[in-house]
Structure 1
């Protein structure tokens, strides 16, 4: 443990030292670069009056200098260069610093020189004659600056590393000393410093904690088993009841027709009722299958990019007819946002939300679907002005076959599995479901895909 603490402290110290050296190198390099540019600018300003008076002749009379001096005509023709033959040099009108100087009076650039084949800093100044005086100097590379500072940096670094190692060794020994002095046969919190007290308390109460955890786990397991059994019985009873209701109706209407006690003109009506109940039975069975597939992950699927706005638009299009019968105003707001998911499952989730918003709405009500993306992620919000859900029911509406008002639900249709499909489908798609509802005001359901 002592070695680990020592290595950790030493590594942190070395990392901090390295960061300081890198920052220092960057600051020094930036300073040198600024100084280079300033020297070029000052020398250009110094030479400008002489060039304006005597032109290139003035430059030829100058003593040899490390700086490269170039005089360029407004059309880009090189008139003079102290390190290359102007007659073989290409037109400089397209050089960045030349263009900038002609446009604004002065220009700067940093690039590799075609003539000298080395990184070069350029400064150009436009003269009153329209010509451009350009000075250039070799740009110090960051490694050049590093080489110049290598010896002092190495000396300082070695000294700092040795100091860090010394203090790390001392600190690690001090940290573990109270732990090494612990008497595990008779542990007392007062024998060590305060930072070790939580460890002492943990050792002292370890057995008691383990026993409590085991008892709590056993209790939770029993509760879980009881809950599973209760849900299984409820599901079986609900499925039996929901299947029995349409089957009883179908059987009754068929028996009446079979016994010939129906007038011929009433047969189409009875047949229509048989058809309605059979369709209700098919929808119920399909919903049960969907729930089971979502539970078991047995749905064959291919994930793809889906435009959430377009899918919501398609779903609202399929609900236009039932909405028209109740004189509802369907609105789709927001933006086109794409998410990754399974089209069939996403369609089922959005359809069930919108279908509920239509079914449980009031005459002349409104259904608003909004698609948006913000800091929380991507959201699909379905809001209605319907009958709402009381607070005591909101925690259970996503359960299978749960209905707030069974008589009302029966009159408008539905299997009681819609919101359960929404919950399981959203979980499959990686979305969180939030419900906010107030009786007689409406309901808002939000699906959120976190960024």
Structure 2
């Protein structure tokens, strides 16, 4: 999304800067064209007035220019917009002064009668009088208004092209990211499956070749069974994650009593806790919420299972179910080995292990917390992890 917005935003910024530059250049060009056009019209009108005198002035189209005829002493003889008798002396006007001295003069200023910025062009006639033409100067706003339609069209094209490019780049980036994740996931799965398969193959080969004493057969059979169970659990977790990724997992919701759910999870984990010398306790209150039962069960089971596996001898696990301000909450606190700060943001990644050597000892698939993350997301739940290395970890699920 950030990449998408970056591309579109960059394109719009470039368009705005380019438009500003073009508008500035266009305005300067139009201003020069206006000045040259006004000069040309003044020179042509002056030639006509020299020949036809005042009769020509009445024939000039009034909608394009304001025409003023000024005597050598500055008195206004004719004006296309006002009665000449009502106008003040124009002898001191800049363009009139220049015309009387050099034959031609021009200027620009705000007109007291027109209340707009005007361009003035004045030409001295043969009798010493001055013919002046004036017109409103085209402002930058007028230029923008005239170009609004083409600019709007170009803007729409720029936005459309930018959106298309951003969508293509985002799609490509997502595909590359998905492909990288797929390759990493495949490599991790292959590794995780290879390890128990090698163990099973090795133990079976010893049994097959009669290299195991009869009293040790049970030991090797147990090893084969444990490794096979590990493979089954790994495949089950992979299937669950695949279904969650593809939206195929059963997400039917119903009323769930979180306290009763936690009681069932703890009952299932008590044999493991007893085997590891860990005490596991449940406290809290009856809290009911709408949720996906098997995913809520899987989420709590994986968190508690990790709390047992990564605990210390004679350690403890405390599960609490509560409701704060109408929001259900489950906390799992253990007295285990803890999670370093640098690893906390990654523990929910697939196959990520904080202590790889310890993970091999306790088993597990490396997918449990990934399932927890997916289940929490489907319930709009927030996962908080607080931990102190050597003292323990607190994982909070806030619904």
**What range is the shorter-chain TM-score in?**
0.5 to 0.7
Matched ranges for 1:69-88 at <5 A: none
Pairing 1:282–2:269 present: no
Pairing 1:397–2:347 present: yes
Q: 1: distance between equivalents of 2:272 and 2:333?
A: 17
Normalising by structure 2, we get a TM-score of 0.58
Residue 183 of structure 1: CA displacement? 4.8
Normalising by structure 1, we get a TM-score of 0.52
Residues 186 and 308 of structure 1, relative CA distance in 2, 3 Å threshold: same
Residue 322 of structure 1: CA displacement? 2.5
Partner of residue 423, structure 1: 373
Which has the higher relative contact order, 1 or 2, with Cα contacts under 8 A spaced 6 or more apart? Answer: 2
Partner of residue 241, structure 2: 291
Partner of residue 396, structure 2: 446
Q: 1: distance between equivalents of 2:227 and 2:350?
A: 20
Segments of structure 2 that go 5 or more residues without pairing to the other structure are 1-138, 147-151
Q: 2: distance between equivalents of 1:259 and 1:326?
A: 34
State the secondary structure of the residue aligned to 1:319: helix
Q: 2: distance between equivalents of 1:385 and 1:203?
A: 66
State the secondary structure of the residue aligned to 2:144: coil
Residues 212 and 394 of structure 1, relative CA distance in 2, 3 Å threshold: farther
State the secondary structure of the residue aligned to 1:306: strand
Residue 225 of structure 1: CA displacement? 2.3
Residue 389 of structure 1: CA displacement? 1.3
Matched ranges for 1:2-401 at <5 A: 183=141, 185-186=143-144, 217-300=167-250, 302-375=252-325, 377-401=327-351
Q: 2:382 aligns with which of 428, 432, 437?
A: 432
Residue 219 of structure 1: CA displacement? 4.4
In the alignment of these two chains, the number of paired residues is 257
Residue 185 of structure 1: CA displacement? 4.3
Q: 2: distance between equivalents of 1:431 and 1:405?
A: 27
State the secondary structure of the residue aligned to 1:433: strand
Residue 277 of structure 1: CA displacement? 0.9
CA deviation map 1:259-301 (0-9, x unaligned): 2222233222221211111111111111111111222232345
- State which structure, 1 or 2, has the greater radius of gyration over its C-alpha atoms: 2
Q: 1: distance between equivalents of 2:142 and 2:193?
A: 67
CA deviation map 1:374-395 (0-9, x unaligned): 2271111112121111222222
Residues 411 and 373 of structure 1, relative CA distance in 2, 3 Å threshold: same
Residue 237 of structure 1: CA displacement? 0.4
CA deviation map 1:174-207 (0-9, x unaligned): xxxxxxx99574269xxxxxxxxxxxxx999888
Residues 365 and 345 of structure 1, relative CA distance in 2, 3 Å threshold: same
State the secondary structure of the residue aligned to 2:194: helix
Segments of structure 1 that go 5 or more residues without pairing to the other structure are 1-180, 189-201
Partner of residue 11, structure 2: none
Q: 2: distance between equivalents of 1:270 and 1:287?
A: 26
Residue 352 of structure 1: CA displacement? 0.6
Residue 445 of structure 1: CA displacement? 1.5
Residue 349 of structure 1: CA displacement? 0.9
State the secondary structure of the residue aligned to 1:324: helix
Partner of residue 89, structure 1: none
Residue 338 of structure 1: CA displacement? 0.1
Residue 303 of structure 1: CA displacement? 2.4
State the secondary structure of the residue aligned to 1:387: coil
CA deviation map 1:41-78 (0-9, x unaligned): xxxxxxxxxxxxxxxxxxxxxxxxxxxxxxxxxxxxxx
Whether the 8 Å CA contact 1:294–1:428 is kept in 2: the answer is: no
